[in-house]
Each structure stands twice: as structure tokens, then as C-alpha cells.
Structure 1
Amino acid sequence: MKEKKRNDLKYFTSLGIVIQFGVVVVSNIFVAGVIGYFIDKWTLKNKLFLIVFLFLGVASGLYNGVKYLLKEAQKYEKHDKDANDE
């Protein structure tokens, strides 16, 4: 029974990491899209800034998301290494 609880905890922890990754990526894209929209609204009105800022948002979102995933992976590796040493 204890092993099942441990597996459930690992599952929900992994699910939380995936959800956090998605939130980071989508929020970066959304913020960049809003900035691009308002700059376009006040300047050229040809959707150039919207497209540029959406690409920047995608790049920023993926960069920050992957950085977050790598940080979590290092945390798990350290935790597994400490558990194996004991």
C-alpha cells in the first residue's frame, strides 16, 4: 500500500511539472502577443509587430520552459543520488 502511495505521489509530481511547463510557455506567448497587438494598434496597423512578438513569445516560452524542466531534472537526479547513497 505504501508503494502505491509513493507511485501516486510521483505521478502527481510529474503531472505538476508538465502543467507548469505548459503554463510557462502559454503565458509567455500570451504576454508577447498582447504587447505586439497593442504596439500594432498604436503604430503601423499591419500586424507586423504582432507576428514578431508572437515569435519572440514562442522562443521565450520554450526557453524558459526548458530551463524549468532542466532545473527540475537536476533536482530529481540529486534526490535519487542522495537516496541511493543512504
Structure 2
Amino acid sequence: MVVPPALKVVHLKPMKKFANIGCLAHEVGWKSQAVTATLEENKKEKAKIHYWKKKQLMRLWKQGKRNREKKIDKFTEVLKTHGFLV
């Protein structure tokens, strides 16, 4: 079971200010709470797409690193025998 307010306390920095824009706007009398809800949904959707792209890039980066290590292993052994690498 997950408690969202507890996660907010754990993940945000202690001295960092934060606010839920929709609740804050509603408290001061703004009538367009639905607008902020749709904007929040759009923001979350964009964040999800950004995170997916970031995961794909990291996967490709790690794969490239493994391929690079396979290609330079023979050169690494030669450099170690001559004392250039420890």
C-alpha cells in the first residue's frame, strides 16, 4: 500500500516549496479548476513520453557501451601487457 502524501515528503527536498496549482487556485476563488486539471493531465502525458524516450536512450547507450567494450578488449590486453593500463 502506498501513501501519496508520504511519498511527496520523501521525494521532495525538505526546504523546497511546492503547491498543487489546481487546489491553490480553487482556494483563492478561481472558477476554472477544470482547466488546470486538463493542463495537469497534459503535463503528465508529456512527462510520460519524455520518460519513455529517456529509457530508450539509456538502453541504447548501455548497449553501445557493451559493444564498444567487446571491440576494444583485444587492444586493452595489449596495453595492459605493456604497462599503459593498470
TM range (shorter): 0.3 to 0.5
Bigger radius of gyration: 2
TM superposition score normalised by structure 1: 0.48
Greater helix content: 1
TM superposition score normalised by structure 2: 0.48
Larger RCO of the pair (alpha carbons < 8 Å, separation 6+): 1
